[in-house]
């Protein structure tokens, strides 16, 4: 009896191949039809693989979807430390925007949000993914505080939300166009604030 979903060392190339085409097909279906659109039979057909082969390697649909999504993720971009907060934030936000619009997994984002609502396993996956994606922002802000570019009492939590929130909002909720240039508008608004300065220095 084969060991299911072994993490490493699938020595037999047939196994390796099967897993790959199945994950690929699952990802495609996930993107095209959402969480509910992923069926074992659909995956089997698209992968050109027998249903039984899928059941041999994954116990549940959730596990399969989980693995498929994981396989879609690219390693995060290398850390940037330019010493300039504005530049760092814009760089990170641009990466996020790309991730949500043109990356391979971009079309699956909505499906994952909903899936996270119903499947705790998926929810955990999404969470881990987010933490990783948030790291550059956290890092940039922390460094800026150390440099004195940001006030020590800055609300980091709210700041992170205010930087990334608008991006997700456009992507998920309002569905307005989301170009990379939006990054600058958000960052500038974030840094400057909206209120006109009353303590404006002399003209």
The residues of the shown chain that bind a second copy, judged by CB under 8 A, are 33-36, 85, 110-111, 113-114, 116-118, 123, 126-127, 130, 148-151, 154-155, 157-159, 161-162, 164-170, 172-175, 182, 185-186, 188-197, 199-201
Largest Cα–Cα separation, the chain: 81
Q: What DSSP state is assigned to residue 106?
A: G
Please answer whether residues 89 and 140 qualify as being in contact, where contact means their C-beta atoms are separated by less than 8 angstroms.
Answer: yes
Considering CB under 7 A, how many residues would be counted as binding DNA? Answer: 23
Closer to DNA by CB, 14 or 118: give it.
14
- For DNA, give the closer residue by CB, 62 or 164: 62
- Our CB check for DNA shows the closer of 40 and 73 to be 40
Question: How far is 161 from 192, CA to CA, in rounded Å?
Answer: 16
User: How far apart (Å, rounded) are the C-alpha atoms in residues 77 and 16?
Assistant: 27
Long-range own/partner contacts, residues 13-20 (CB < 8 A, 24 or more apart): 15/57, 18/49, 18/53, 18/57, 19/57
Contact window for DNA (CB under 7 A) among 49-57, 98-106, 119-127, 157-165? 49-57
Q: Do the Cβ atoms of 32 and 107 come closer than 8 Å?
A: yes
* Interface positions, 180-199, toward DNA (CB under 7 A): none
User: Should residue 42 be labelled a site residue for DNA when binding is judged by CB under 7 A?
Assistant: yes
Euclidean distance between CA atoms 19 and 58, whole angstroms: 10
11 touches which of DNA, a second copy, none (CB within 5 to 8 A by kind)?
Answer: DNA
Q: Which residues bind DNA (CB under 7 A)?
A: 2, 11-15, 17-18, 39-42, 48-53, 55-57, 60-61
């Amino acid at each position: 009896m084969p060991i299911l979903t072994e993490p490493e060392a699938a020595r037999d190339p047939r196994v390796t191949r099967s897993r790959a085409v199945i994950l690929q097909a699952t990802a495609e279906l996930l993107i095209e039809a959402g969480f509910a659109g992923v069926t074992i039979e659909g995956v089997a057909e698209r992968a050109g693989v027998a249903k039984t082969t899928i059941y041999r390697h994954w116990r549940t649909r959730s596990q399969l979807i989980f693995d498929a999504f994981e396989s879609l993720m690219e390693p995060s971009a290398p850390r940037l430390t330019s010493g300039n907060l504005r530049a760092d934030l814009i760089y990170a936000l641009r990466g996020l925007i790309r991730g949500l619009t043109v990356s391979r997994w971009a079309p699956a984002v909505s499906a994952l949000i909903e899936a996270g609502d119903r499947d705790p396993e998926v929810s955990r996956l999404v969470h881990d993914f987010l933490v990783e994606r948030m790291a550059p922002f956290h890092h940039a802000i922390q460094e800026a505080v150390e440099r004195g570019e940001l006030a020590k009492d800055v609300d980091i939590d709210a700041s992170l939300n205010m930087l990334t929130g608008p991006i997700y909002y456009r992507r998920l909720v309002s569905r307005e166009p989301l170009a990379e240039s939006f990054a600058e508008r958000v960052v500038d608004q974030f840094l400057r604030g909206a209120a006109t300065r009353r303590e404006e220095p002399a003209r």
